Amino acid sequence: MSGAQIGELRRVVAANVRRLRKAKGLSQEAFADDCGLHRTYIGAIERAERNVSIDNIERLAGALAVPGYELLKP
């Protein structure tokens, strides 16, 4: 079992989404519009509060113009 450390990967995603969104000069609201997601959901992702699904990783990565796996890279 690998249960002990679960939650680390969503912190990686949180940090990457925030970093890449800011690098594009986008507010959470503008970025949420680009993703087709809600602003409060983006905020929760960036605080590592949400267990994001792979389909939404794809939406976030698409709006950031990076491959999906880049959002999971430490």
CA gap 48, 12 in Å, rounded? 8
Nearer CB in complex with its own copies: 19/36: 36
Among 17, 20, 32, 35, which residue interacts with its own copies (rule: CB under 8 A)? 35
Structure tokens at 70: 């880049």
Query: Which residues lie closer than 8 Å to 68 by C-beta, 6 or more apart?
Result: 54, 57, 58, 61
Binding to its own copies (CB under 8 A): which residues in 13-32?
13
Contacts to its own copies by CB under 8 A: 1-3, 5-10, 12-13, 34-36, 51-55, 57-59, 61-63, 67-70, 72-74
